[in-house]
């Protein structure tokens, strides 16, 4: 795959990245470690050399699995995008939400990005990932308990030390981005984006385009909903937050199916799956850097990689966007 420059940095990434949220098992009902390692390796073999992970995905598990998968690959042949700022180890920071461990025990998650904490988290991630540097280091969620300039001062020092190559943010508002830019150059903002969740087109994406930053869209398939494989009444297993996600209400699933009915003939024309067309459409939206697409096994990785094996015409892209414009959710 042709590499794309991330923002105004010298970091180059593939048009789609391996999203390593699901392999950590966190919020996805568990994951098989052997299958996860094979999935990461398959992605690399198919040219997807960029991997997006985070410490909180499985409480360190995802980063360790990435390291295991890539241990025999020269470090300059792949790009690691990881994060900081979510704390499950203590009650320090700003409480964000309740999670669960593998045994179903409650685990409170706090947003915490003090300067000292950021430095510690970086060292922890470097150790788990078995690497000397991180290509893109991103704050996972805003931390109301810490001034943004304090957080970004730590990031500036990590850049100077060569422990990270570029700085990004996740889930930042336009005001938060402006504040962070006063201290450190940002190259990206990672935000949720899909053809049924386009609210960030209002201000976040235009700001990124104006500032020369890249958007890293996550959940482009809306956590599997846009694959067409989830139907009304679908039962999720284990600790899976999709059970209570409004997108997965039966009525919304039915509405998504109606949207996908419009896309289906286009997919058939290209001998592609619905998911491949959705990913392809996302890649071509304004401001997109690398589209984060998760996978738990080799088959899913192969399907994701196939999303760039065909070209959608301007007319097809327009038809899909029109169908997306007409979509609405019920609460």
Band (99; pLDDT cuts 50, 70, 90)? confident
Average pLDDT over every residue of 239-246: 84
Mean pLDDT of 12-22: 95
User: CA–CA distance from 13 to each of 17, 84, 192, 257, 313 (Å)?
Assistant: 8, 20, 19, 32, 24
pLDDT of the residue at 262: 95
Express each pLDDT in 30-61 by its tens digit.
468 899 999 999 999 999 999 999 999 999 99
- Write out pLDDT tens, residues 122-154: 999 999 999 999 999 999 999 999 999 999 999
Residue among 30, 90, 96 nearest 57 (CA): 30
Q: Is the pLDDT of residue 237 over 70?
A: yes
- The larger pLDDT score, comparing residue 234 to residue 18, is at 18
User: What confidence tens digit (pLDDT) does each residue in 184-227 have?
Assistant: 999 999 999 999 999 999 999 999 999 999 999 999 999 899 99
Q: What is the mean pLDDT of the chain?
A: 94
Q: What share of the chain has pLDDT > 70, as a percent? A: 98
Task: Give the pLDDT score at 244.
Answer: 87
Task: Give the span between the Cα atoms of 161 and 158, in whole angstroms.
Answer: 5
Instruction: Report which of 42, 38, 36 is spatially closest to residue 23, judged by C-alpha positions.
Output: 36
Under 8 Å between Cβ of 17 and 44: no
Domains and CATH numbers, the chain: 4-223+274-310 (3.20.20.100)
Q: How do beta strands 94-100 and 136-139 pair?
A: unpaired
* Residue (of 93, 139, 82, 102) closest to 27 by Cα position: 102
- Beta carbons within 8 Å of 65's beta carbon, 6+ residues apart: 20, 23, 24, 33, 36, 37, 40, 58
Which residues carry out catalysis? 57
Q: Which residues of 268-297 are buried (b: 16+ CB within 10 A; e: fewer)?
A: eebebbbbbbbbbbbbbbebbbbbbbbbbb
Residue 28 pLDDT > 50: no
pLDDT value at 102 more than 80: no
> Which pLDDT score, from 0 to 100, does residue 31 have?
60
Distance of CA 282 to the CA centre of its chain: 13
pLDDT tens digits for range 273-293: 999 999 999 999 999 999 999
pTM listed for this prediction:
0.94
């Amino acid at each position: 795959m042709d590499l794309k420059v991330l923002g105004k940095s010298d970091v180059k990434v593939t048009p789609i990245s391996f999203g390593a949220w699901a392999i950590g098992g966190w919020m996805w009902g568990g994951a098989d470690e052997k299958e996860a390692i094979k999935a990461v390796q398959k992605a690399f073999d198919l040219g997807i050399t960029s991997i997006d992970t985070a410490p909180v995905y499985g409480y360190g598990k995802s980063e360790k699995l990435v390291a295991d998968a890539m241990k025999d690959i020269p470090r300059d042949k792949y790009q690691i995008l990881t994060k900081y700022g979510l704390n499950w180890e203590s009650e320090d920071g700003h409480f964000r939400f309740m999670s669960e461990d593998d045994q179903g025990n409650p685990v409170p998650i706090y947003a915490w990005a003090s300067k000292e904490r950021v430095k510690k988290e970086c060292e922890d991630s470097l150790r788990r990932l078995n690497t000397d540097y991180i290509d893109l280091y991103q704050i996972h969620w805003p931390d109301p308990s810490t001034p943004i300039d304090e957080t970004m001062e730590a990031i500036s020092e990590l850049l100077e030390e060569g422990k990270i190559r570029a700085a990004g943010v996740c889930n930042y508002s336009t005001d938060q981005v402006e504040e962070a830019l006063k201290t450190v150059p940002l190259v990206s903002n990672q935000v949720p984006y899909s053809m049924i969740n386009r609210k960030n087109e209002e201000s976040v994406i235009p700001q990124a385009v104006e500032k020369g930053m890249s958007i890293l869209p996550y959940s482009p398939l809306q956590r599997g909903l846009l694959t067409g494989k989830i139907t009304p009444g679908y039962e999720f297993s284990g600790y899976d937050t999709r059970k209570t996600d409004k997108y997965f209400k039966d009525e919304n699933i039915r509405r998504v199916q109606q949207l996908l009915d419009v896309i289906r003939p286009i997919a058939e024309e290209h001998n592609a799956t619905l998911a491949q067309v959705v990913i392809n459409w996302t890649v071509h939206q304004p401001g997109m850097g690398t589209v984060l697409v998760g996978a738990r096994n080799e088959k899913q990785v192969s399907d994701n990689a196939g999303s760039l094996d065909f070209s959608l015409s301007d007319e097809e892209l327009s038809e899909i966007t029109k169908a997306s414009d007409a979509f609405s959710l019920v609460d």
